[in-house]
Structure 1
């Protein structure tokens, strides 16, 4: 009976702080701030602790991931009126959306802020804030070293494409000390429709940027970013919509500064051997390499451990970590090529000391 009473009298505040932190980290920070601040001293100490509040996401997200604004009363009375003045000097990272950005940045100063995420912005509103909002402009020119920009527009137009290039160039121009940039621009229902390689040779130049995560449309956009305009770039994480051959000259200049490279493309490509492999061979000092690709090969065989070793790995001697998921679709119409079995592929990985690799083979004679 005593045991039952003990369970019934258990209070959430009896849990250790580490467990309470773990619970709060599973919840939206907006909900935690709105619901638990000023409930009692212990909750206030936990919530306003810099360990919890240093990375502050002031957006609401639905179960499907859609972002919605904070309701005006909560934003004005609770967040900006009561909470931000108590925590602003502890905030290092901040995430905001367009409808609340002005109120949040005019409520208090953020002296310790170095990382800013601007999510769900249209390009027109984003440009207006970067150019005309004095607080945002000052933060981006004087404080921010890590910037995450997520642009989402409903329509595509020539004006939209021009604005896209303006945004990226402007960010790199006004923020001379920016070293980490994540930039994505999507048109709802259409996907990315921006061609970076069409920009002028003086666009998107930076001497300080060391890490770039970006969505682009073509493989030429990737080459554009690696043509030494970003001279300090050591990490490039790039998602490409289309990889295809063009008439552009192949550049064999080495990229010695690049230490980490991640390439993902979810459309099938026939240009793996002609475009991707030559690019990877230009990275002699690469230490981490990630490839997510779906490759079509004609009159050839699978991309297996032997291929990866002989065509790529021997050209990147400093490679320490390789993560890959490569689907090979073969069309051997005229050539009679004896394809390896799945066991052969696995043995090839082991022989080349690629141990944590899985594979499977599906043969369809009709294709």
Structure 2
């Protein structure tokens, strides 16, 4: 494995650090406003910080997947919520680029990379949760197009211009007979409802209801009835990105806590002198380093066109748990000050917690790992 940071990657890392410094002071304001400003997205796109791994002909930078991960970790140190633009952008743009008709891809992928628009992804349903392979949403043929009915929950439900959704197009076993579609969210029959989440508020998560929504036939992604298996392959990429997303938020919290404990006085000395304070932080540093290497390895495997489904699942269940545990320890190390809303620790804890749920729970990820090791015959 080679995680060498070449000159091109370093340029993106420096750009991401500069952008992070710019947006950090307004993190709390974005939460209060419950949105990520369009102009901020566009600046992010202009700097090449959204889906840089896309080919240049579709608005990307032709960079490595590993570069995307490096970008995300840096921006997440300032605001984990803003990195959703990049994580969702990379996932959905690759799905569209790989599966959509050329005209659809040329219309939407550059808009994603530039920050001009967001295309969400609707996999989960209010009544389904982790049972993503058995959607209640349906799509039926009508003339040359499709009619969509059902409800999805998704990030950017309130702000996206379109979404990728999964719907049942024929009867079949779990995971079969499911097709993927791109649906513009300004079509008749669409209703958006905000959710009152405890974290990631500025991402605008919510429910999108589709009531006899008509879309053209060209909006089908991939082959009819094969959408679940074809499109889900893109999640191996996003799961590694999510790992670095939460690591960035945890790492900046840990850095702040090392500094705080070296300055906070108790019993006539810095509290960092006490093993009960410093040793848990040393353990946190170790765990974050290990989680980061796992995520970087997974992206390296993707860049090398090697299998990485198992590693991606490891990233998705373990990194969010590690990040949450680290931030929790840092809050405790700050004592009463960590519990104040004046500090960013409590928001980071709330934001990171949501990623132990979204994009697949730990139980689903462990099931994937077991199946990769045992095969379906012997796995749960």
Task: Name whichever structure is richer in helix by fraction.
Answer: 2
Task: Name whichever structure is richer in strand by fraction.
Answer: 1
TM-score (normalised: structure 2): 0.23
TM-score (normalised: structure 1): 0.23
Please tell me whether Structure 1 or Structure 2 has the larger radius of gyration of its CA atoms: 1
Of structures 1 and 2, the one scoring higher in RCO (CA 8 A, sep 6+) is 2
